[in-house]
Amino acid sequence: MMSFLPILFINCFFCLGKATDCGGNHVTETIIVGKYGQAAFRTIQAAIDSVKTNNDQWVKIHIKAGLYIESVVIPKHKPCIILKGEGSRRTIISHWDHHSINNNATFLSFAPNVIASGITFKNSYNVAIYKSNDLRRKIEPANAAKVYGDKCFFHKCSFIGYQDTLFDHSGRHYFKDCYIQGDTDFVYGYGRSYYRNCSIKVMGRNPNLPGFVTAQGRKSRDDRSGFVFEGGSIKGNSKVNLGRAWRPYSRVIFRNTYFSDIVTPQGWVAWTAANNPNTTTYAEVDCKGPGANTSKRVPWMKKLSSSDLNEFSFASFINSDGWVDNLSTIS
């Protein structure tokens, strides 16, 4: 009897692990959301609320074209959800709020195993201030999205804001062919994330006051978090730094990315690592464009070895267990 218990425990352990990964890549249910016409729900949140607690199979929520004025939350106990829009120019979720960087985002996702495709997430709070061109008016932190859960994939999505647009909070995340817009710290957080072929658009109020694309928050040498950008581009209307250290061990790598001339010559700012900027890991590898000249970059920018480059490859950095390969197909 005693020898049977460990076997039973091991079997249950693997069952639980499999359930967490949504039982494979097959979609078991599709829910339709639409502003008009035939649809199960009129709001995205109502559709998410209808998904069973501790969901363990992929459920697709198809969001028809339209403007959805709401704040959308995927709670921790509802994993395995796919949000499928009809294109980021046609399916738009917009919200107006700025109370704090810890709440009130347009999209908050706490669950693991979440996929979003073909959707715009927009926080419109700072839009009126930005358009007024009045530099005396204060810009507030206003998240378009905040992502907590592990193993989340965003495909052809847009994230639109000004300050703190995308709070890449924690967990492994994969952003592919996405559009990210902002000016100050507009990709930030403690996530371990890979951005492939993403278009970064800088929309600043003051062309003479550089913003910051990233503010990554790696806290220690043993912290595995960081942001890797492969391909894509940085363009816009005002000067921008590639990043500043939100925490002393901040880590951001750009590979094969096109930099327009808006990128500042220094490239990076130490911020919280000012006492010892060598604790940061900031690197640029095979980037191109008029802003990719590294001759005047900060002296503490890293030069990566071949083993470093392997560490920051897609397979090693976020997909060593193959979770991306096991995601449900988006169709």
- Interatomic CA distance for residues 93 and 95, integer angstroms: 7
CA distance 281 to 242: 12
List the catalytic residue out of 150, 164, 168, 183: 164
Nearest to 99, CA basis, from 77, 120, 71, 63: 71
How far is it, in rounded angstroms, from Cα 145 to Cα 80? 18
Between CA 271 and CA 281 the distance in angstroms is 13
What are the structure tokens assigned to 230, written together?
């492969």
Contact call for residues 183 and 203 (beta carbons, < 8 A): yes
Q: Are 25 and 324 in contact (CB under 8 A)?
A: no
Q: In the sheet where 268-269 sits, what is the strand order?
A: 72-74, 107-109, 145-147, 166-168, 184-189, 211-216, 240-244, 268-269
Beta-strand relationship, 120-123 and 107-109:
unpaired
Alpha helices by DSSP H, listed for 97-182, are: 127-132
Annotated catalytic residue 164: yes
220 exposed, middle or buried (CB, 10 Å; 0-12, 13-18, 19+)?
A: exposed
Burial (Cβ within 10 Å: 0-12, 13-18, ≥19) of residue 36: exposed
Alpha helices (H) along the chain: 4-20, 44-50, 127-132, 306-311, 314-317
| C-beta neighbour count of 329 within 10 angstroms | 10
- In the set 21, 150, 183, 185, the catalytic residue is 185
Q: Known catalytic residues?
A: 164, 185
